[in-house]
Chain A
Amino acid sequence: MDELTREFLIESQEGLDRMERCLTELEERPQDAGLLGDIFRSVHTIKGTTGFLGFKRLEKLAHAGENLLGLLRDGKLHATQGIITGLLQLLDGLRSILKTIEAEGSEGDGEDSALIVHLEQLQDATTAVAQTAHTAVAASGQSAVSAPAEPPPAPVAPVASAAPAPVPAASVPSAAEPAPPDPTVQTEAEKPRPQAIASAAESSLRVDVTLLNRMMNLVGELVLTRNQVLQATANDPNMTMLSRRLDMVTADLRENVMKARMQPVSNIFSKMPRIVRDLSQVLGRKVRLQVEGQDTELDKSLLEAIKDPLTHAVRNSLDHGIEPPEVRVAAGKDAEGTLKLRASHEGSHVIIEVSDDGAGIAVEKERELLQLIFLPGFSTAAAVTNVSGRGVGMDVVRTNVEKIGGKVEVDSRTGKGTTLRLRIPLTLAIIPALIVRTLEQSFALPQGSLSELVHIPPEQANASIEWIEGVALYRLRGKLLPLVFLDRMLTPNGKHREADERDNFIAVLDADGRQFGLVVDGLADPEEIVVKPLSAVLKDIGLYSGATVLGNGDLALILDPGSIALKSGVTMSAREEEAAVTSGEEVTDELKGLEYLLVETAGRRAAVPLADVLRIEQLPLSRIEYIGYRPVINFNGQLLPVEDSGGVLQAAEGKPEAQVIVVVCRDASRHVGIAVSQVLDVASGADLFEAGTTQRTGGVTLLKEHVTGVVDLGNVPPLPADEHQTADWNRIAETLA
Chain B
Amino acid sequence: MSTATVTHAKENGTSALVEVCSVRLEKTWFGVPISHILEIVGGARPQPVPLAPGYVGGLVHYRGDVLTTVSLRHLLNMPPKDGPQDIIVLESKGGCFGLLVDAVGEVLTLSAVDFEQNPSTLDARRRALLAGAYKLKDKLLVMLDPERLDPIRLSSAQPS
Within the complex, the shortest CB–CB distance from A712 to chain B, in Å, comes to 46
Residue B94 at the A interface, CB < 8 A? yes
Within the complex, the shortest CB–CB distance from B57 to chain A, in Å, comes to 12
Question: Are A541 and B66 in contact, with the CB atoms below 8 A?
Answer: no
- Nearest A residue to B59 via CB reads A555
Within the complex, the shortest CB–CB distance from B66 to chain A, in Å, comes to 4
Question: Are B56 and A537 in contact, with the CB atoms below 8 A?
Answer: yes
Q: Which of A510-553 contact B (CB under 8 A)?
A: 532-538, 540-541, 543-544, 546-549, 553
What per-residue 1/0 map shows which CB atoms of A431-444 lie under 8 Å from chain B?
00000000101000
Within the complex, the shortest CB–CB distance from A546 to chain B, in Å, comes to 8
Partner of B155, one of A221, A532, A540, A557: A540
What per-residue 1/0 map shows which CB atoms of B87-126 lie under 8 Å from chain A?
0000000110100000000000000000000000000000
- Report A-chain residues with C-beta under 8 Å of the C-beta of B66: 532-534, 546-549, 555
Residue A554 at the B interface, CB < 8 A? yes
| A217 to B62 alpha-carbon distance, docked (Å) | 13
Residue A715 at the B interface, CB < 8 A? no
- Nearest A residue to B156 via CB reads A537
Residue B50 at the A interface, CB < 8 A? yes
- Report A-chain residues with C-beta under 8 Å of the C-beta of B53: 537
Chain A binding surface, main DSSP class? mixed
Sort chain A's interface into a size bin.
20 to 34
| A556 to B50 alpha-carbon distance, docked (Å) | 12
Residue A210 at the B interface, CB < 8 A? no
| A555 to B97 alpha-carbon distance, docked (Å) | 16
Residue B1 at the A interface, CB < 8 A? no
Within the complex, the shortest CB–CB distance from B112 to chain A, in Å, comes to 33
Question: Are A543 and B51 in contact, with the CB atoms below 8 A?
Answer: yes
What per-residue 1/0 map shows which CB atoms of A203-232 lie under 8 Å from chain B?
000000000000001101100000000000
Within the complex, the shortest CB–CB distance from B63 to chain A, in Å, comes to 8
Question: Are A537 and B152 in contact, with the CB atoms below 8 A?
Answer: yes
Residue B48 at the A interface, CB < 8 A? yes
- Report A-chain residues with C-beta under 8 Å of the C-beta of B59: 538, 547, 555, 557
| A554 to B66 alpha-carbon distance, docked (Å) | 11
Question: Are B68 and A555 in contact, with the CB atoms below 8 A?
Answer: no
Partner of B95, one of A535, A544, A549: A535
- Also in contact, A491 and B68, with CB within 8 A (given A536-B152, A540-B155, A555-B59): no
- Also in contact, A537 and B68, with CB within 8 A (given A547-B59, A555-B61): yes
Question: Are A541 and B60 in contact, with the CB atoms below 8 A?
Answer: no
Question: Are A221 and B64 in contact, with the CB atoms below 8 A?
Answer: yes
| A447 to B53 alpha-carbon distance, docked (Å) | 28
- Nearest A residue to B47 via CB reads A555
Question: Are B155 and A537 in contact, with the CB atoms below 8 A?
Answer: yes
- Nearest A residue to B67 via CB reads A535
- Nearest A residue to B55 via CB reads A537
| A217 to B64 alpha-carbon distance, docked (Å) | 7
Question: Are A441 and B95 in contact, with the CB atoms below 8 A?
Answer: no
Partner of A491, one of B50, B94, B154: B50
Question: Are A538 and B56 in contact, with the CB atoms below 8 A?
Answer: yes
- Nearest A residue to B49 via CB reads A538
Partner of A557, one of B49, B64, B97: B49
- Report B-chain residues with C-beta under 8 Å of the C-beta of A543: 51
Question: Are A532 and B94 in contact, with the CB atoms below 8 A?
Answer: no
What per-residue 1/0 map shows which CB atoms of B38-57 lie under 8 Å from chain A?
00000000011111110010
Question: Are A441 and B51 in contact, with the CB atoms below 8 A?
Answer: no
Question: Are A441 and B56 in contact, with the CB atoms below 8 A?
Answer: no
Residue A490 at the B interface, CB < 8 A? yes
Residue B31 at the A interface, CB < 8 A? no
| A55 to B64 alpha-carbon distance, docked (Å) | 44
| A272 to B114 alpha-carbon distance, docked (Å) | 67
Question: Are A532 and B50 in contact, with the CB atoms below 8 A?
Answer: no
| A720 to B56 alpha-carbon distance, docked (Å) | 54
Within the complex, the shortest CB–CB distance from A728 to chain B, in Å, comes to 36
| A634 to B94 alpha-carbon distance, docked (Å) | 41
- Report B-chain residues with C-beta under 8 Å of the C-beta of A541: 49, 51-52
Question: Are A538 and B68 in contact, with the CB atoms below 8 A?
Answer: yes
- Report B-chain residues with C-beta under 8 Å of the C-beta of A549: 61, 66
Indicate the member of B47, B50, B61, B152 with the most A CB atoms within 10 Å: B50
| A387 to B68 alpha-carbon distance, docked (Å) | 44
Question: Are B60 and A532 in contact, with the CB atoms below 8 A?
Answer: no
Residue B65 at the A interface, CB < 8 A? yes
What per-residue 1/0 map shows which CB atoms of A698-722 lie under 8 Å from chain B?
0000000000000000000000000
- Also in contact, A218 and B64, with CB within 8 A (given A536-B152, A537-B152): yes
Question: Are A536 and B94 in contact, with the CB atoms below 8 A?
Answer: yes
Question: Are A537 and B50 in contact, with the CB atoms below 8 A?
Answer: no
Partner of B68, one of A441, A534, A553, A554: A534
Question: Are A538 and B52 in contact, with the CB atoms below 8 A?
Answer: yes
What per-residue 1/0 map shows which CB atoms of A479-493 lie under 8 Å from chain B?
000000000001100
- Nearest A residue to B51 via CB reads A541
Within the complex, the shortest CB–CB distance from B68 to chain A, in Å, comes to 4
- Nearest A residue to B64 via CB reads A221
| A532 to B52 alpha-carbon distance, docked (Å) | 17
- Report B-chain residues with C-beta under 8 Å of the C-beta of A557: 47, 49, 59
Within the complex, the shortest CB–CB distance from A531 to chain B, in Å, comes to 10
- Also in contact, A441 and B48, with CB within 8 A (given A535-B151, A536-B152, A540-B155): yes
- Report A-chain residues with C-beta under 8 Å of the C-beta of B97: 535
Q: Which of A417-442 contact B (CB under 8 A)?
A: 439, 441
| A218 to B64 alpha-carbon distance, docked (Å) | 8
- Also in contact, A220 and B68, with CB within 8 A (given A541-B51, A543-B51, A557-B49): no
- Report B-chain residues with C-beta under 8 Å of the C-beta of A221: 64
- Also in contact, A441 and B64, with CB within 8 A (given A536-B94, A537-B155, A540-B155): no
Within the complex, the shortest CB–CB distance from A220 to chain B, in Å, comes to 7
- Report A-chain residues with C-beta under 8 Å of the C-beta of B51: 490, 541, 543
- Nearest A residue to B53 via CB reads A537
- Also in contact, A490 and B68, with CB within 8 A (given A535-B95, A555-B59): no
| A230 to B69 alpha-carbon distance, docked (Å) | 29
What per-residue 1/0 map shows which CB atoms of B143-160 lie under 8 Å from chain A?
000000001101100000
| A234 to B124 alpha-carbon distance, docked (Å) | 55
Within the complex, the shortest CB–CB distance from B13 to chain A, in Å, comes to 44
Partner of A537, one of B52, B61, B65: B52
Within the complex, the shortest CB–CB distance from B152 to chain A, in Å, comes to 6
- Nearest B residue to A217 via CB reads B64
- Report B-chain residues with C-beta under 8 Å of the C-beta of A218: 64
| A557 to B64 alpha-carbon distance, docked (Å) | 15
- Report A-chain residues with C-beta under 8 Å of the C-beta of B151: 535-537
| A613 to B51 alpha-carbon distance, docked (Å) | 35
- Report A-chain residues with C-beta under 8 Å of the C-beta of B155: 536-537, 540
Q: Which of A9-49 contact B (CB under 8 A)?
A: none
- Report B-chain residues with C-beta under 8 Å of the C-beta of A556: 47
| A221 to B50 alpha-carbon distance, docked (Å) | 25
- Report B-chain residues with C-beta under 8 Å of the C-beta of A547: 59, 66
Q: Which of A439-459 contact B (CB under 8 A)?
A: 439, 441
- Also in contact, A535 and B52, with CB within 8 A (given A540-B155, A554-B47): no
Within the complex, the shortest CB–CB distance from B65 to chain A, in Å, comes to 6
- Nearest B residue to A214 via CB reads B64
Within the complex, the shortest CB–CB distance from A382 to chain B, in Å, comes to 45
Q: Which of A555-572 contact B (CB under 8 A)?
A: 555-557
Question: Are A220 and B47 in contact, with the CB atoms below 8 A?
Answer: no
- Report A-chain residues with C-beta under 8 Å of the C-beta of B95: 535
| A534 to B47 alpha-carbon distance, docked (Å) | 13
Within the complex, the shortest CB–CB distance from B46 to chain A, in Å, comes to 8
- Report A-chain residues with C-beta under 8 Å of the C-beta of B49: 538, 541, 544, 557
6 A-B residue pairs with Cβ-Cβ distance under 8 Å, sorted by A, are: A217-B64, A441-B47, A535-B94, A535-B152, A538-B56, A546-B66
Q: Contacts A441-B48, A537-B68 given; 7 further ones with Cβ under 8 A?
A: A490-B50, A535-B94, A535-B97, A536-B151, A537-B154, A543-B51, A556-B47
Q: Which 8 A-B pairs have the closest CB atoms?
A: A490-B50, A535-B68, A555-B47, A547-B66, A532-B66, A537-B151, A221-B64, A537-B155
